Structure 1
Amino acid sequence: MNLDLSWADLVVPSDKRSGRPGSADTWAMLLEADAADFVNAVTKLEREPVEGGAHVATVDGARCETKQNLFAEFADKLNFPGYFGGNWDAFEECISDLVVIDGIGGHGIGSEFGLGNGISASLLMLAISRAELLLLGGSHEDRQILVSILRRAASGGNLTEITGPRRLADLRVIFQSDSTGFPSLDRRLADAGLRGSLRRTE
């Protein structure tokens, strides 16, 4: 099956999106599709133009079954700086800094890391394949923390320590699973607090 993804499916108008607790998590999409088709569709999507530019990072949920493995996979695919500490506080700090477009080191996604100019884009998309395996060997609390961190990054709510005006990239996350794993993914993310996300089945 050919899976087509478009930016129009993923970019929610600013007046209809939110990452605040208790509101719909329209920054997230749950996608039921074959993993290989998903990766191919994401690769094709990267080549399509979108206003303001986009940076796409593909994360493999099969490499994120434990908390430490998740930290390593995200650090690799999102180019976390070398000082990343491998814990939830450091993970949140890096995700928060990643979505800052105007930072101390220059401009673009990740410029707040202070390692030079960032990526010229105003949209950051995390494409998580085989997402039913995310933190499968972790705790319920770990899954709650992950959802909360991504939610706060999507809303800019975890940037209280950054002073002065900042432009933030829009964060979108696609959680992909095939038909076998999708019910488990749906249940685990709901139990972790994800509510009102976009949904698509193939």
Structure 2
Amino acid sequence: MIHADLHGKTGVREDLVTSGCMGLLELLPNYIEFFGGAKDVSGNDLSGRLKGYSGVQMDFWHAVDGRIPDLIVTITNDNDNEIRLVIEVKFGAPLSPAPEGNQLAAYWCAANKTFGSRNFEVIYLTKDHGMPKNDMEEAKNGDANKNFYWISFYDLYRWCDEELQKRRCDTDKNILKLLVFYLEKKGCRVFRGFKDKLIPMKNSCFYRRVYNLNCELYPYLRILYK
């Protein structure tokens, strides 16, 4: 929670979650790969756009033309060109209205003025199970030049869990374990198929049966949420 404390944001739950999750995430050497999974309303992700980076820096609550998004991630690629990811985080709260339409639109306009049209992307990080298309379409408002990407805290849980199986560095593993634990406590756990141990069926109640069924069906149901 260091970043929230330093910026005087400890009184807002959403800001504490941002500080807790993103503050840990930035300690991992390849965390930019998580944001590469963000998708626009057409299903296109950012993985190709973010390849070949040589430097990454995350800034919390940094002003851009008078607007203050939750995060700005600056990526330097192998050609020394910079791309900024302007990230708005919502953990259950709605977007605030703005003269441009909503917060996403306001951040896009501020970033476009400050960084130039091809040097940034706006990402919407939320606790939704499915893409909040209405928010994104409202921000776009029919303007073909504007584009917005979305990724969820459930995706972050899944990414951390998958990375945990790959890592050999104890420090990275400890960071990922803490992130997974924290996200579980915040209700962002996702079923991981047969990796989750089934609850014994002996003397089980209805809720245990539902849990076990979800574990067995998850590999098939997850397709519906892609």
TM class by shorter chain equals 0.3 to 0.5
Larger Rg: 2
TM-score (norm 1): 0.35
Structure richer in helix, relative to its length: 2
TM-score (norm 2): 0.33
